[in-house]
Amino acid sequence: MSSDPALDIPRRKVTVRQLRERRRVLRSIGAGIGLVGASLLGFFPVVKQWMSRLRPPGAIEEAKFLAACIKCGQCVQVCPVEAIKLGDLDEGFSVGVPYIDAREQACDFSCDAVQCVLACPTGALSHNTDKKEQVRMGIARLSRPNACLARLGKGFKGPARGESHDGLHRYMEVDRWTPIRIADHPYDLEMCDLCMRECPIEGAITIERDTFELGKKSGTPIVFDKCVGCGMCEMICPVIPPAIVVDIRKTWENV
Amino acid sequence: MSFVSSIFEMLGREPANKPDDSAYSEDALAIHESKRDIKGKKERTAAIRAERDLARSHKWRNWRWASIVMVNGLFVLSFALDVQLIEGSMSASRVVGFHFADLNAALQVTLAFKEILINLVIGTVTVLILWWLLGGRTFCSWACPYHLLAEFGEFLHLRLAAGKLVRDMPMHRGLRTVLYIVFALLALGTGYTVFEAISPVGIVSRALIYGPGFALIWVAGLLLFEIFVTRRAWCRYMCPIGLTYGFVGITSPVHVKYELENCLHEGDCRKVCLVPHALEVTKKGYAKKVEVALGPDCTRCGLCVDICPTKSLTFDVKGLNKLL
């Protein structure tokens, strides 16, 4: 057979070994991209702010907070009312980052000395905070004034959140040192003033009387600039859903 | 030279080929020579291995499992019983009041936060000294909670592989180095500790201490990948924490020592090893000296020490022999 040497293109032979090696490298690249991609999915919940979370006392500005938090949970361990929980998978980069679900269990400062701040090894909970009055978690707001029992002039009888609620609170008059279940501390109030009554910060909430008519009692909870946003009022409010809530990370400067 | 090359091998470079005769030390050359003309080598090897299998030792594995369970158990019990012995989790803790910080987590936080945090420095230095003394990647096999899960996954993988149901799909070890750099740059660039969101070590540790969450789904997915696709994919080819502790172990006094003299070169050690490239020296003709310390990627897990039929692999502490 005739053969033209010009058409004889030298073909590089690929050995099985080379082929296997090539696959191994491609597989590694694929796995690497997959892993980094999976980790970057954590961007969405954070950047789009799918979840706005109340952070523990002393938390620095949110983006910095997420950077500084080492996700160890030491703050969780020292909280006497177990108010602090850790973020889960659906919170993206906030996996393992502490938050407080105030309605379930608010921080009522029953540790007296912001233990979570002292426990934080990185200063994500700023060590500049050493008194509960200095804390800035948010600001309470009467979100449903028409549902507020005080405004309706109603009293309240029984446990604030029902028998089954597991929330804890320290009642100074019951036990100075140990928080007890709210369910074990029923009330009998002529006019509901629970938000003011259980607020751990003096002068943060007062109830202004609406009427001075004889035999009638009604009032409006007013939040003052001493409010630190701990969420105790949100937890104790007997109305469902609560009439008073904490606006997370709101400060008095940007009201 | 081998010191530097062992670091490059940890970063992903393929181990060097068999050295030529001029590279051997005099003693090593003599041993290599003498091994060339032993008669009945096969029968002898088979007999020695059979004897080992009569009473298989799992001493180091058992100690190690006990260590992982104990370390993580202390975290769990300390919180569950509120005794404040070890507070926190694997990423950072206080051990009877002293700060401890996982080196990789501390690195991620520092890169993302861009501030030197004094408590973190204290915790990091403490942990650095601790794991340097203990051997660097000793952290992986003696403390990491994911390691134990991964060993279980590996057991299943090997069973399935033995039945030809799965085949290990190996990867390039350089991947871990690339991921290390990528995650460092991501932390630096985005200001988020991106790696911590997917770190199975942190997720498992927190799940043990504070209760399970959906993040365990990710860990389960990783384990399934290791069972059905790539043997020990995370620990071998991906985990930046392993590399961080690998760096710590470069100069560590605790290591596994290989002795050439009695080695049968049958390769049982490399089959059980998480990082077989660290045991390249056990191949016939590869050891340049009669005694060689394994490189920094070795997790000091002791599986090779347990399985070696001739006790050619042993735990060793540098300088201790001189003292005793």
DSSP string across B252-310:
-SEEEEEESTT-----HHHHH-SSGGGGGGGSTTT-SSSEEE--TT-----HHHHH-TT
CB contact under 8 A, B117 and A71: no
Within a domain: A24? no
pLDDT of residue A3: 53
Within a domain: A4? no
Mean pLDDT of B33-47: 86
Which tokens go with A202?
Answer: 């003096």
Which pLDDT band, with edges at 50, 70 and 90, does A9 fall under?
low
Collapsed DSSP state (helix, strand, coil) of residue B160: helix
pLDDT of residue B324: 63
Mean pLDDT of B149-176: 96
Q: From A80, which residue of chain B is nearest by alpha-carbon distance? A: B82
Cα–Cα distance between B74 and B77 in angstroms, integer?
Answer: 5
pLDDT of residue A1: 47
Q: From B95, which residue of chain A is nearest by alpha-carbon distance? A: A74
Q: From B192, which residue of chain A is nearest by alpha-carbon distance? A: A67
pLDDT at A147 over 80: yes
Q: How many domains does chain A have?
A: 1
How many contacts (CB atoms, under 8 Å) link A and B?
158
Within a domain: A64? yes
Average pLDDT, chain A: 91
- Whether A123 contacts chain B with CB within 8 A: yes
Within a domain: A100? yes
- Whether B105 contacts chain A with CB within 8 A: yes
Q: In this structure, how many other beta carbons lie within 10 angstroms of the beta carbon of residue A123? A: 20
Minimum mean pLDDT range among A95-99, A208-212, B31-35, B269-273 = A208-212
Q: Nearest by CB to A88, which of B102, B213, B230?
A: B213
Q: What is the pLDDT of residues B74-96, one digit of tens each?
A: 999 999 998 888 999 999 999 99
CB contact under 8 A, A119 and B195: no
Domain limits at A85?
A: 44-249
Place of tokens 């996700």: A71
Within a domain: A37? no
Distance from CA of A248 to the nearest CA of B (A): 21
pLDDT of residue A255: 67
Cα–Cα distance between B276 and B280 in angstroms, integer?
Answer: 7
Q: What is the pLDDT of residues B126-159, one digit of tens each?
A: 999 999 999 999 999 999 999 999 999 999 999 9
Q: What are the boundaries of each domain within chain B?
A: 2-56+254-323, 61-247
- Whether B123 contacts chain A with CB within 8 A: yes
Q: Which residues of A touch B93 (CB under 8 A)?
A: 72, 74
Q: Which residues of B touch A78 (CB under 8 A)?
A: 87
pLDDT of residue A121: 94
Within a domain: A30? no
Which pLDDT band, with edges at 50, 70 and 90, does B1 fall under?
very low
Q: From B174, which residue of chain A is nearest by alpha-carbon distance? A: A28
Q: Which residues of B touch A63 (CB under 8 A)?
A: 191
Q: What is the pLDDT of residues A39-57, one digit of tens each?
A: 999 888 887 777 789 999 9
Q: What is the pLDDT of residues B177-230, one digit of tens each?
A: 999 999 999 999 999 999 999 999 999 999 999 999 999 999 999 999 999 999
CB contact under 8 A, A38 and B213: no
Within a domain: A62? yes
Cα–Cα distance between B74 and B205 in angstroms, integer?
Answer: 11
Q: Is the peptide bond before A98 cis (omega within 30 degrees of 0)?
A: no
- Whether B117 contacts chain A with CB within 8 A: yes
**CB crowding A223-244: b at 16 or more within 10 Å, else e:** beeebbbbbbbbbbbbbeebbb
Q: From B79, which residue of chain A is nearest by alpha-carbon distance? A: A77
- Whether A36 contacts chain B with CB within 8 A: yes
Query: What backbone torsions phi and psi does residue B290 show, to the nearest 5 degrees?
Result: -80, -25
Q: What is the pLDDT of residues B276-322, one digit of tens each?
A: 999 999 999 999 999 999 999 999 999 999 999 999 999 999 888 76
Within a domain: A33? no
